[in-house]
Amino acid sequence: MRNSPIGIFDSGIGGTSIWREINRLLPKESTIYLADSKNAPYGEKTQAQILELSIKNVEFLINKGCKLIVVACNTATTNAIKEIRATYSIPIIGIEPAIKPAALHTKSKTVGVLATKGTLSSALFNSTSELHANGIKVLEQEGTGLVALIEEGKLYSEQTRELLQRYLQPMLKEGIDQLVLGCTHYPYLIPLLKDILPDEVEIIDSGDGVARRTVAVLEQHQLKVDASKTTVEHQFYTNINPEVLKAFLSDVNVCHRVDYLDF
Q: Please list the active-site residues.
A: 73, 183
Taking the C-alpha atoms of residue 195 and residue 191, their distance in angstroms, rounded to an integer, is 6
Specify which residues 10 forms β-bridges with.
35
Whether the bond into 41 is cis, omega within 30 of 0: yes
Taking the C-alpha atoms of residue 8 and residue 202, their distance in angstroms, rounded to an integer, is 27
What is the DSSP secondary structure assignment for residue 40, as one 8-state letter?
Answer: -
Taking the C-alpha atoms of residue 107 and residue 231, their distance in angstroms, rounded to an integer, is 47
Beta strands in the chain (DSSP E): 6-10, 31-35, 68-71, 92-93, 110-115, 137-142, 178-182, 202-204, 234-238, 257-260
What is the DSSP secondary structure assignment for residue 104, as one 8-state letter?
Answer: H
Contact 194, 168 (CB under 8 A): no
What is the DSSP secondary structure assignment for residue 226, as one 8-state letter?
Answer: P
What is the DSSP secondary structure assignment for residue 45, as one 8-state letter?
Answer: S
How many Cβ atoms from other residues are within 10 Å of residue 137's Cβ? 14
Taking the C-alpha atoms of residue 206 and residue 200, their distance in angstroms, rounded to an integer, is 20
Whether the bond into 5 is cis, omega within 30 of 0: no
Which of helix, strand or coil describes residue 56?
helix
